[in-house]
Structure 1
Amino acid sequence: MSKRNRQHRHNKILARKAGIKPGSLLIPSEAFTPRFFLMSFSEDVFEEEELPTYQELMQRVRSRPDVRHWIDIRGYAEQPVLEMLLQDFGLHALQLEDVLNDYQRPKVEEFGGNRLFLITRMLRWSPEFRTLDDIQLSLFTGPNYVLSLQSDYGDCLNPLRERIRAGKGIIRQRPAVYIAYAILDVVLDYYFPVMADISVYIEELEQQVLREPNKGTLTLVLDLKNELVKLRRITWPARDLMNELLRMDENTIPANLKVYFRDAYDHAVQLIDLVDNHREMASSLVELYMSTVSNRMNEIMKVLTIISSIFIPLSFIVGLYGMNFSRENPETGQVYRYSMPELYEPYAYPILLGLMAILILFQLYFFYRKGWFRSF
């Protein structure tokens, strides 16, 4: 997502209408046309298909109540589809409003007979713009289905789809809520490569700060700090989401599945630690920038001080002999003993230049002995 698109989304969040009816389904102007994907599976059965219409999707789901379904809808642009979702899955309008206002923090809600409404955020690091791209993923669980809704066509869930296709592990044998866990787990797993990319970028910025401590570099560091603040606003609610799932009744989250959610909770805690470490590293980059700029300024001032120290005595000598006091009074012819007899010496000028050169060499030798040139 480019900076322009992110700014557009930010403006859209700020421009939400005040006073509108709760549960109003306001479709974003940039919403994609919905696409309907269905995975139906059990321990012995697997079917996968992209359906052309919502009606055909629901027909397939209703025709196979004996298997579990992952209903994946990508895109929000059709109002009738949203209204049918409310009716067919027994959703509340406020829940679907949260889906459409797709910059919600990660959360979980229990509703209607031990069903769950979950929101998480998929992350991706943009190497081109050095920014975080995040997409909201909304999940609804039911007795034999998981309904996922997202605004974009692309996501990070292909590894999970491959596991289901291959029948690896126990995912086909578990209830629908386990599929929701698997989706959350894959989303969290993708946070770690993002953190690794950010760590590499921090190292690059550190080298750049040392080489070129200019305003452009400082802007990059401050932009990174803003991205880490956004990442922290995502990871902390993600941990709270997992904690809420662990506290739920066994009728909602079976006891034999809570060990998996506890593992995901541990991942969220690790991510928070990484985010906090990266924020400290970003803050240290600002301090490093200020220190580097200050050191360079000190070096510049040191050079200027040496130059000034050399020319101050020379300026004194030149100024002294620039007074041009005449030794002889032109009116009376009287010769003044304490005027400048050197002005009339035949070799006064080269002698004075030689003395000034000797003085410069003496000062340079003195500065060298003091160690002033060692840091250059």
Structure 2
Amino acid sequence: MSSITTKSSQIQVIAYGEAGFKEESIIEPEQAKKYLQRWPVTWVNVDGPMNAQLATEVGTMFGAHPLALEDAIQLRERAKVDIYGRHHFIVARMVVPGENIETEQISIFMGENFVLTFQEQPGGDCLQPVRDRIRRGVDDLDKHGPPYLVYAMLDSIVDAYFPLLERYGEKLEGLEDDIIVRPMNETVNEIHAVKRDLLILRRSIWPMRDVLHTLLHDSITFTDEELRFYLRDCYDHTLRVIEMIETDRELCSDMMSFYLSSISNRTNEVMKVLAIISTIFMPLTFVAGIYGMNFNTEKSPWNMPELNWYYGYPFALIVMALFVVVMLIFFRLRKWL
């Protein structure tokens, strides 16, 4: 299948039904009309840098509301759903595969026999499992209409968060071990980076809960009981993702508190050692200070007579050593050592 670029964007059409499927890249939006007339469900995906003129042309052809088109072009919307009669406009945030955490907006227009999607960036996305299901025809996706396709997209978008969160969970476990063994500033920087990424994910997935709640309770299109089972399952997955994000964020906060506590404990241990050393040397300094006054022993017999004593210097050292021993025994009895 060739990849044909239209005004810096790619238009891909996947039309399917019980009779099979047809997949093609098209040049002009008008070429999609023939699929709308022949196939029960037509999925038109506009992939790449958002082109306002192309988006307006494609959206108008499918009867999209002008306000919904404006939101799709702006690329600054949080996840939401707007219902225009039997047409639905859904905005979601997809996780972009890569080393750095990024999300992109996907705008979904759903009508009676079509699904129109606008993706913010070209390249890989998390909707490949949906395409593979259509190509294989291994489940009931080809027997249901556009609402089931929209569910499959939303479910794939939500499930794409799980591998990423598992990776962050493993990273936090390693950082926790580093904090316990050797707390360093670099570890704190990594924790801050993880917490910032989790905040991005939280802002992306949190509104999705409201989207699925609206589709379950306020939409007249998603009324099929079996489809509602699937939507509830997707809703549960969203809640699990939110809980995992909140748990990891709390873990980051706990790790920061533990790091600060470890640094404080290390500082206290250092200060404790220095205080003990200073305390031990206080009497030694006192003794050395006394014998450093240099009174003249010839003027008075009271002027340090031990200075002329044969054992005076060893006696002073023994006194100092006794001070040290006595203080160490005292510290040990008080459990300060």
TM-score, normalised to structure 1, is 0.81
Which residue is 2:138 aligned to? 168
Give, in whole Å, the separation in 2 of the partners of 1:101 and 1:365: 76
Contact 2:50/2:120 (<8 A) preserved: no
- Contact 2:213/2:235 (8 A) holds in 1: yes
Report whether the alignment pairs 1:66 with 2:19: no
Provide the C-alpha distance between the structure 2 equivalents of 1:125 and 1:348, rounded to a whole number of angstroms. 81
Q: Measure how far apart 1:34 and its partner are.
A: 0.5
Q: Deviations over 1:11-30 (max 9, x none)?
A: xxxxxxxxxxxxxxxxxxxx
Kindly state the Cα deviation for residue 209 of structure 1 after the two structures are TM-superposed: 2.1
Aligned counterparts of 2:213 and 2:33: Cα–Cα separation in 1: 36
* Count of matched residue pairs: 330
Aligned partner of 1:98: which letter? Answer: D
Matched, 1:151 2:125: no
Equivalent in 67, 74, 83 of residue 94 of structure 1: 67
Letter in 2 for 1:337: P
Residues 270-329 of structure 1, C-alpha deviation per residue, up to 9 Å, x if partnerless?
Answer: 222222222221211121111111111111111111211221111111111111111222
1:368 deviates by 4.2
Deviation per CA, 1:336-364: give whole Å up to 9, x if none.
Answer: 23221112223322332233234334434
- Which residue number corresponds to residue 21 of structure 2? 46
Residue 171 of structure 1 aligns to a residue whose secondary structure is: helix
Cα distance in 2 between the residues matched to 1:82 and 1:190: 26
Distance in 2 of aligned mates of 1:363 and 1:54? 92
How far, CA to CA, are the matches of 2:50 and 2:82 in structure 1? 25
Compute the displacement of 1:136 (Å): 1.1
Structure 2: 5+ residue stretches without partners: 1-6
Alignment of 1:121 with 2:121, yes or no, is no
Gaps of 5+ in 1: 1-31, 330-335
Structure with the bigger percentage of helix = 2
Partner of 1:183: 153
Aligned-residue offset at 1:249? 4.2
Among all aligned residue pairs of Structure 1 and Structure 2, give the percentage whose two residues are the same amino acid. Answer: 35
CA apart distance, 1:254:
3.1
Cα distance between partner residues in 2 of 1:350 and 1:46: 103
* Partners of 2:56 and 2:69 within 8 A in 1: no
Q: Is the 8 A contact 1:65 1:144 kept in 2?
A: no
Q: Does 1:278 pair with 2:248?
A: yes
Cα distance per residue 1:3-60 (max 9 Å; x no partner): xxxxxxxxxxxxxxxxxxxxxxxxxxxxx92011111111122111223x13464254
Letter in 2 for 1:61: Y
From 17, 21, 36, the equivalent of 2:11 is: 36
After superposition, what is the alpha-carbon deviation per residue over 1:164-215, rounded to whole angstroms, capped at 9, x for unaligned?
1110110000011110010000111111222211211221221222234333
Amino acid at match of 1:274: M
Instruction: Judge conservation of contact 1:205–1:217 (CA < 8 Å) in 2.
Output: yes
